[in-house]
Structure 1
């Protein structure tokens, strides 16, 4: 699941004119869902829109996610809260919209920050063609490994265990070379 989320965040967002039909769908689909349950369910005027704000921010970018949230709030208030075509009639309407906007801002901001952090991480990664090597270090008997431009060192474990693993690895490589010579 983490790999899937990372791939979604690494993929470029749909932008420009291509994003318009998806943004319209991100408002229309939950509106139809909410209309279908109107009368049978009350008190969930904005709830069906929340996952679509997430999807819009994820696939269309934070600007479209914010726009979907604003349009969804207006549509849900006009159609499902209080008398039709009246906006923010009472305190419960204000509360519902406040919670929806706070949630939407948090969702859109989180996705924006995740995309930004991932982009910085990818930019700091050395290119596949460039050989940068691994830097090993010791601190208080613990072995660490780091790669140029990849952030903080990664803890490998106690020095003795890591040395044994490295010696075993080198022996396996040498054995592989020897076996490949005779095959």
Structure 2
């Protein structure tokens, strides 16, 4: 994962990735290998138009997954207290979408040298990758209001081709963005 990315959430997939390398030899190591939790559902009291009303695994429909090159179903995860969904395409790449109900873009701790400001649809965003590390990882962070964000993290299985990881992250972010408040 890019150096200096959000301390609370984006570092967790990278650490979990390292821990998972030896524990699941049949699957490629990808970001987001946190412990699996039951699929999340919308809390009955969730206000419409908030991230709390969203299920991260429902953000990619079967058509979206096909467009993004994802041929597997997502697995609900909890990453450092945030709801997430992880899709692992064996031998290719993994993508994790994390919903952060408490930190907007301005709250995320991202190293300036790895972040590029952009816009995805109607949402302000940051693309985060360390081109010098060339580690095959990239993130797109979408701002949702002042106090929320959606983090799309991609890791290529061979940990090479950061540009490809960024194209994949941008594709997934573009598919998720219209469903955000």
TM-score range, shorter chain: under 0.3
Richer in helix (by share): 1
Richer in strand (by share): 2
- Greater RCO between the two (CA within 8 Å, min separation 6)? 2
Asked which structure has the greater CA Rg, the reply is: 1
TM-score of the superposed pair, with normalisation by structure 1: 0.23
